């Protein structure tokens, strides 16, 4: 770890001020990803601004019947929060599919959105990486790319976003509330993370001096018909090869609303409005789910080792939608896939 | 990687209550809680395995919650209560988890054991595990390369008072 200075922010305004005054500084809350990256010399901040004691730990009901979640709510507290368990079980399930109990106790909601790819080349400072050192090239393109993206890739980067929580938030239509020197702004979660394009070093649409202060969930929680299915190399405590968050509103067997988001396959949680529109008004059948999977995976491309992900994703989408329609969501403890 | 500075940071005084004893430390900011416990307080029961939050050997309780001490900066926990494996027994009587690990032979080399036991203490406090599958899932952050998992699960079940 490089030497760094340490400041404890007194409030959000103080944190913004400290960020502006220290261009090489980084915010720290749970630290589970940042400290790891600092130990690897991937992150070398001149100063850490500790925001972990700021009063951003509430889960509050909004006027329209949604929820506002403070950016510093620990992942475990959110997953086990009664209002999340009752109204947004898809989000609870996705959070519990990620990391370990210890890491979920430490990690904040805002930090989860900010976590960086686990691409091995991004971590290995001996190899070129456009995300770590812009302009040096992408080692994964012709390297070991079994874990890498199949959707939304670019010639500069094929890294994936590692978050499970963000996949559920994308499906639920969450908003990100951001504080900045001139006030506050709100952005859709699906617009918060970026595709790599030719600027893969910029993961998210967060400007200088901006801080995530809350996540907002809209009222519709899909609490009846949902499932989060995560496929990985071991049954727990591993990043997704493919994950699927599925949420349906049904009238009888007819789909009135569908949300599907994919993890492990792109630089951001992957949704297709076309696939979701195609399901509306249709019967909840495997044939229709397969068609939606085709639309979600339209344009998917593979490198040397990750072609299996396309068929894996196709089958996982159908399976997860079936679980959602049957109201038999995937258990994150009892691993048999129904 | 703009604006990297290499000035030497000042030591920062912090207070921790470690296993019920108040300790004052002057630490450079990049000292992890793990290194503070082992190198500054000579509490070497907490182990450094991977040092990257992947193995769980460094698990301790901070204000009653299990965390990876290797990914925790000590200065960020100023004022916190820390419980390590050395703080679980009371008056010479082993913690029920410690006794259960002995009863079930829930270790071989022992390197992961203090992390397993502290993690299990956190698991019991959380009260989220009701059966063996849930114990396995919620203990997945603690690796045992000797493969003592069946006996670890059995030991935790004994400490939970469940068959």
Residue B133: give its domain's CATH number: 1.10.150.120
Give bridge partners of residue A249 from the DSSP assignment: A257
- Comparing CA positions, the residue from B120, B142, B112 lying closest to residue B48 is B112
CA distances from B160 to B92, B117, B120, B131, B132 (A): 21, 13, 10, 10, 11
B87, B112, B131: which is the final residue of a domain?
A: B87
Specify the CATH number for the domain of residue A244: 3.30.390.50
Is pLDDT of B1 > 50?
no
Residue A106 has its nearest CB partner, among B3, B52, B71, at: B71
Q: Number of Cβ pairs closer than 8 Å across A and B?
A: 114
Using a CB-CB distance cutoff of 8 angstroms, which residues of chain A are in contact with residue B122?
Answer: 101-102, 105
- Interface probe for A, chosen from B140, B142, B143 (most Cβ of A below 10 Å), is B140
Across the interface, whether the CB atoms of A335 and B76 are under 8 A apart is answered no
Please count the structural domains in chain A: 2
B142–chain A nearest CA distance, Å = 8
Per-residue pLDDT of chain A (338 residues; tens, 9 = 90+): 889 999 999 999 999 999 999 999 999 999 999 999 999 999 999 999 999 999 999 999 999 999 999 999 999 999 999 999 999 999 999 999 999 999 999 999 999 999 999 999 999 999 999 999 999 999 999 999 999 999 999 999 999 999 999 999 999 999 999 999 999 999 999 999 999 999 999 999 999 999 999 999 999 999 999 999 999 999 999 999 999 999 999 999 999 999 999 999 999 999 999 999 999 999 999 999 999 999 999 999 999 999 999 999 999 999 999 999 999 999 999 988 76
Q: Given this model, what pLDDT does residue A337 score?
A: 78
Which helix (H) or strand (E) element contains residue A123? Answer: helix A120-123
Closest Cβ–Cβ partner in B4, B51, B66 for A39: B51
A47 part of a folded domain: yes
B44 touches A86 (CB < 8 A): no
- Residues of chain A positioned with their CB less than 8 A from the CB of B4: 2, 24, 44-46
Domain that holds residue A319: 225-325
Q: How many domains does chain B have?
A: 2
Smallest Cα distance from B2 to chain A, Å: 6
Answer yes or no: do B64 and B32 share one domain: yes
Q: Is the pLDDT of residue B7 over 60?
A: no
Same domain for B105 and B143, yes or no, is yes
Domain range for B132 is: 96-160
Question: Would you place residue B10 in the very low, low, confident or very high pLDDT band (cuts 50, 70, 90)?
Answer: confident
Domain boundary among B39, B69, B87: B87
Q: Which of B68, B87, B106 is the last residue of a domain?
A: B87
Residues B72, B24, single domain; the answer is yes
**Residue B21 C-alpha, separation from nearest chain A C-alpha, in angstroms:** 23
Residue A41, phi then psi, degrees to nearest 5: 65, 20
3-state secondary structure A222-272: CCCEEEEEEECCCCCCCCCCEEEEEEEEEECCEEEEEEEEEECCCCCCEEC
Residues B42 and B108 in one domain: no
A41, part of any domain: yes
What is this model's ipTM?
0.96
Residue A131 domain flag: no
Residue A89 domain-assigned (yes or no): no
Considering the domain architecture, whether residues B79 and B130 belong to the same structural domain is answered as no
Does B77 lie in the same domain as B135? no
On whether any CB of chain B is under 8 Å from the CB of A101, the answer is yes
């Amino acid at each position: 770890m490089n030497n760094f200075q340490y400041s404890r922010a007194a409030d959000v305004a103080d944190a913004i001020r400290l960020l502006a005054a220290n261009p090489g500084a980084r915010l720290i809350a749970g630290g589970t990803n940042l400290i790891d990256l600092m130990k690897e010399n991937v992150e070398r901040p001149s100063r850490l601004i500790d925001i972990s004691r700021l009063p951003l730990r509430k889960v509050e009901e909004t006027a329209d019947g949604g929820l506002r979640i403070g950016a510093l709510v620990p992942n475990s507290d959110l997953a086990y929060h009664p209002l999340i368990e009752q109204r947004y079980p898809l989000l609870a399930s996705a959070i519990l599919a990620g990391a370990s109990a210890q890491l979920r106790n430490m990690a904040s909601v805002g930090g989860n959105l900010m976590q960086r790819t686990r691409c091995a080349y991004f971590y290995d400072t001996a190899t070129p990486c456009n995300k770590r050192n812009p302009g040096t090239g992408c080692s994964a393109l012709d390297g070991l790319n079994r874990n890498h993206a199949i959707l939304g890739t670019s010639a500069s980067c094929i890294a994936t976003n590692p978050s499970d929580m963000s996949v559920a938030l994308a499906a639920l239509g969450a908003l990100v509330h951001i504080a900045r020197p001139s006030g506050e702004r709100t952005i859709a979660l699906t617009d918060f993370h970026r595709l790599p394009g030719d600027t893969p070093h910029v993961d998210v649409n967060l400007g200088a001096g901006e801080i995530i202060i809350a996540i907002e969930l809209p009222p519709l929680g899909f609490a009846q018909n949902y499932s989060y299915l995560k496929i990985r190399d071991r049954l727990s405590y591993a990043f997704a090869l493919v994950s699927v968050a599925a949420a349906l509103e049904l009238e009888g067997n007819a789909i009135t609303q569908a949300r599907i988001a994919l993890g492990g396959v792109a630089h951001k949680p992957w949704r297709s409005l076309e696939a979701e529109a195609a399901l509306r008004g249709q019967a909840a059948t495997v044939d229709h789910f397969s068609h939606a999977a085709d639309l979600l995976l339209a344009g998917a491309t593979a490198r040397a080792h990750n072609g299996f992900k396309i068929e894996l994703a196709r089958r996982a989408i159908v399976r997860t939608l079936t679980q959602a329609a049957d109201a038999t969501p995937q258990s994150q403890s009892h691993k048999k896939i129904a | 990687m703009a604006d990297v500075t290499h000035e030497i940071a000042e030591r920062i005084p912090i207070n921790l209550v470690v296993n019920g004893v108040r300790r004052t430390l002057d630490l450079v900011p990049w000292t992890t809680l793990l290194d503070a416990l082992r190198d500054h307080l000579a509490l070497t029961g907490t182990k450094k395995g991977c040092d990257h939050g992947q193995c769980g050997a460094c698990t301790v309780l901070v204000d009653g919650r299990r965390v990876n001490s290797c990914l925790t900066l000590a200065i960020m926990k100023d004022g916190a209560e820390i419980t390590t494996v050395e703080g679980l027994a009371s008056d010479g009587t082993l913690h029920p988890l410690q006794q259960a690990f002995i009863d079930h032979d829930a270790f071989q080399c022992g390197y992961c054991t203090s992390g397993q036991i502290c993690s299990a203490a956190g698991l019991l406090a959380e009260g989220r595990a009701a059966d063996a599958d849930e114990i396995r899932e919620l203990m997945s952050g603690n690796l045992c390369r000797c493969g003592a998992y069946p006996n670890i699960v059995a030991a935790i079940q004994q400490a939970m008072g469940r068959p």
